[in-house]
Amino acid sequence: MSDRVTMPALGESVTEGTVTRWLKNVGDTVAVDEPLLEVSTDKVDTEIPSPVAGTLQEILVEEDETVPVGADLAVVGDGEASGGSDSSDDSAKAEDKGEEKTEEAAAETSSEKESKSSDDEQKSEEPKQEAASSGGEVSGGEKVTMPALGESVTEGTITRWLKAEGDDVAVDEPLLEVSTDKVDTEVPSPVAGKLTKILVSEDETVPVGADLAVIGGEAGGSSDDSAESEEKAEQPQESVDSEKQDEAVEAAEDKSETSEPEKAPEAKDEPKEEPKQEAPAKESSSGDQGDKQQEASTKVDNSGTYVTPLVRKIAAENNIDLSSIKGTGVGGRIRKQDVLDAAKAASAPKEEAPAPAQESAAAAPAASATPQAAPQASAEAQAKRGTTEKMSRLRKVIAQRMVESLATSAQLTAVVEVDMTKVAATRARNKENFKSREGVNLSYLPFITTAVVEALKAFPQVNSSVDGENIVYHNAEHIGIAVDTPRGLLVPVVKDAGDLSIAGIAKKIADLAARTRDNKVTPDELGGGTFTISNIGSNGSLLDTPIINQPQVAILGTGAMTKRPVVVTDEFGNDSIAVRQMMYLVLTYDHRVVDGADAGRFLSAVKARLEEGAFEV
């Protein structure tokens, strides 16, 4: 009996997919839900699991071929392979190998040599089998599955397991971290119990609904042999990989950072990390019981908050009491940055003490000003020097989308210079009252967004998108706001911005930006935009050429506002030179839909509205 593997539907608008790579060859044995091939669409790249267990008998679609949704890709069954694209010798070897595997599986309780040969033959199998415990199958228990993290999210990548096999977990306690092309989040445990088995290892990508772990139940297999092998494997593993694990914990913590981006701490506050420094602590423990107690102490501080060994080490080196620190991580977790901030705050009085002496020597040659202006490398920056790291899923998605955007549309850039003096005066007069009334700060972005929304209503071609050979003119203004986060650039969308006042826009932007940085924004809030604004001036840039967020046809970049002397003409035509607040507005537009004249008129309308400065705050 055989079953056909078909191209699945990977989204409402996805009609076809390209076979990127076959993960199995004809004649290979595959398990249920084991990745069979990789498929690429215009929305996602994903792995297609095998719907049944058996032998890959035939490959029907070769790599780099594009087929519609529902098309047959391969045949998996119990019979012999038909040969497919492999030679007869290779397929015969694959069949012999598959028969050997089944025979070994039937004689599973044989000697140690047989288990070693079985491991050698299964080198090409998925890493999740290596990550699984040596306890064998699990009977009973509750399975933890990959949750649905948004309408368009079909898969997720396991970033990090927060618990190890054998650990006790409580209901809703974070169990693992998952990364998708929209959000990074923690998956909580649905039940309380012991984490019996991990089914998917870190860095693996699995579809929504796939089994990730088993909580509760009983693990089968020989307990004595597996316990001894685990103990022998854990001791050298801990001494060699402890520092790498700590860095991975902190890297994942930075992804779910809940605070605003802060200035990098000075390099002198961060001691260089050496793997040998943790060895004495581990040597001092006696027996397995001592190791477990020490491991628990590195995870939890006196208040019961999760603390990584790296955080605990930095706290000890800086004489910081962890119980006095309020964690900013998920669930109140204390992050490395929290400890560094506490150390910096503790040393602040010492650094401020010599300030009067420096002021008294101000008349002397100002040699001390240069070191203060020099950028200080953070511990994270120093740790990256000379290293290579794998791209995060979000970084890969950003890279792919940017390259695709440049290859899809004919992008040009137009620039105008805007006198923001009147807007600056209006903001200065109202910002205190606005803050007390609305509860958010009044920045320049709500003024610019209001001017853009009004101009979009007058120039619908700029508020459109391309769908094949059609131009879709949208009936609402959904404004995407680019937000810089530690994980990368994300664009949450202010829906129906054309119906909001300046106060409404300011509150929506503040709320979306905060939740995006805190990793609490939903996938649906990151899509559906019709026009995007990128505040390129937030990092001091005067000009930039932003890339269009497809399928939109334009994006506006707002440069840094600076005071400059400019020529000002009064109502009587007299010219004078005055100091004004100036800003560059940069519009990248798709020349397939928007002509240069339309782009110029759109920018001129936004410029005139801002220079008029008549806004109700």
Structure tokens of 563?
A: 């005071």
Q: What number of residues does the chain have? A: 617
Catalytic status, residue 181: no
Phi, psi of 510 (to 5 degrees): -65, -40
| Residue labelled with tokens 């249920």 | 32
- Decide if 591 is catalytic: yes
Helix or strand or coil: residue 448? helix
- Phi first, then psi, for residue 517 (nearest 5°) are -70, -30
- Separation CA 56–CA 33 (nearest Å): 13
Which candidate in 225, 241, 595, 598 is catalytic? 595
Q: Which 3 state secondary structure label does DSSP give 409?
A: coil
DSSP, residue by residue, 76-126: EESS----TTS-HHHHHHHHHHHHHHHHHHHTTTS-HHHHHHHHHHTTTS-
Non-local CB neighbours of 166 within 8 Å, separated by 6+ positions: 194, 195
Distance linking the first and last C-alpha atoms of the chain = 72
The count of other CB atoms within 10 Å of the CB of residue 228 is: 11
Token pair for 10: 């990977």
Token pair, residue 385, equals: 């020097």
| Spatial contact of 554 and 603, defined as CB atoms under 8 Å apart | no
In what side-by-side order are the strands of the sheet with 35-40?
Answer: 45-49, 35-40, 16-22, 66-68
Strand partners, 16: 68
What H or E segment, with its residue span, contains residue 424? helix 421-438
Task: Kindly name the residue from 78, 225, 499, 591 that is annotated as catalytic.
Answer: 591
Catalytic residues: 591, 595
